[in-house]
Amino acid sequence: MTAASAPNPPSTVDWAAIKARQKATWEDGDYASFSQYMEAGAIDILDDWHIGRGQALLDVGCGSGQTAIPAARMGARVTAIDLAENLIEHARRRARELSVEVRFDVGDAENLPYADASFDVVISLIGAMFAPRPEVVAAEFARVLKPGGTLRMANWTAASMPGQMFKCVAGFAPPPPGLASPVLWGDEAAVRQRLSRDFTDIQCRRRIYSQWHYPFDAAELVGLFRSQFGPAKKAFDSIDSQRQQELRDSLEKIFAGNGELRDGVLTITSGELLDIAATRR
């Protein structure tokens, strides 16, 4: 699906209800533990973004601090925000343990609680892509960035293993009608349409999420998603036992088909992202 064919949300959409549902979803499970298997790859992406020392940086959809804390250790002045309060609490604890200074806030990517032109850099690694109104997110990115500031995002594509997984899960637990798929943030045409009003020098390239390893097979990986990854957990909890088995089988097939198992370690090989760089006008 391209930007031109994305559905238009009905005018009667209850955005507050959708956001409350999303908040409950991401606070379910144990994403802080779940994300540990992806942290090395997240740091690789952050390294490639070459964040300058002393820059005021905002991490939107920061989760449990997987990019915010390393960015601060690289010398940036970091503020980070996420909808899930439990993840922010975890990130604050971890930053204290590591003696790293980061301001962590609970909040909404569509209503950032910061003044205009507050940041030199805004980043979002597979975070803000899940907010329900992408055009509002893009406008908020632009509002809080200084003129000439930099936006960096990396978002799953539809072809990636997560893109396939989200499509599968939606077949068992459909999202509210009319909402654009999160993986449209991994579609170059959609990204250019969303950013072109307020950004220039928009650059997009496809890359693979590196260092994505699980010390078990695809069947056990389904169990990890089932217990710790909020969207999958909510989907399983919403359907009966027969449908749960069907979802389990479908996810196992996706994980096995997008990974390589060697010596008991499953490496995901289809973690395709759209890596985005853009400059605030």
* pTM, 2 dp: 0.94
- Is the confidence at residue 114, as pLDDT, over 50? yes
Q: Helix 134-144 crosses helix 188-195 at what angle (to 10 degrees)?
A: 50
153 lies in some domain: yes
- Band the pLDDT of 279: cuts 50, 70, 90: very high
| pLDDT average, residue stretch 95-119 | 98
pLDDT of residue 10: 54
Structural domain span for residue 144: 14-167+174-211+270-280
The pLDDT tens digits for 131-161 are 999 999 999 999 999 999 999 999 999 999 9
187 lies in some domain: yes
260 lies in some domain: no
226 lies in some domain: no
- Is the confidence at residue 194, as pLDDT, over 80? yes
102-106/199-208 β-pairing: unpaired
| pLDDT average, residue stretch 256-278 | 98
| pLDDT average, residue stretch 112-124 | 98
- Is the confidence at residue 177, as pLDDT, over 90? no
* In the block, residue with structure tokens 């939606």: 170
92 lies in some domain: yes
- Is the confidence at residue 181, as pLDDT, over 60? yes
Q: How many residues does the chain have?
A: 281
How far is residue 67's CA from residue 88's CA, in Å, rounded to a whole number?
13
The pLDDT tens digits for 14-43 are 999 999 999 999 999 999 999 999 999 999
- Is the confidence at residue 2, as pLDDT, over 50? no
Spacing of C-alpha 60 from chain mean position: 9
pLDDT of residue 4: 41
Looking at the structure of the chain, the number of domains it has is 1
- Is the confidence at residue 7, as pLDDT, over 60? no
Mean pLDDT of the chain: 95
| pLDDT average, residue stretch 186-201 | 98
The pLDDT tens digits for 54-77 are 999 999 999 999 999 999 999 999
104 lies in some domain: yes
189 lies in some domain: yes
Q: At residue 214, what is the residue type? A: Y
Decide which of 180 and 116 is more confident: 116
| pLDDT average, residue stretch 179-208 | 97
How far is residue 264's CA from residue 252's CA, in Å, rounded to a whole number?
15
CATH number, residue 137: 3.40.50.150
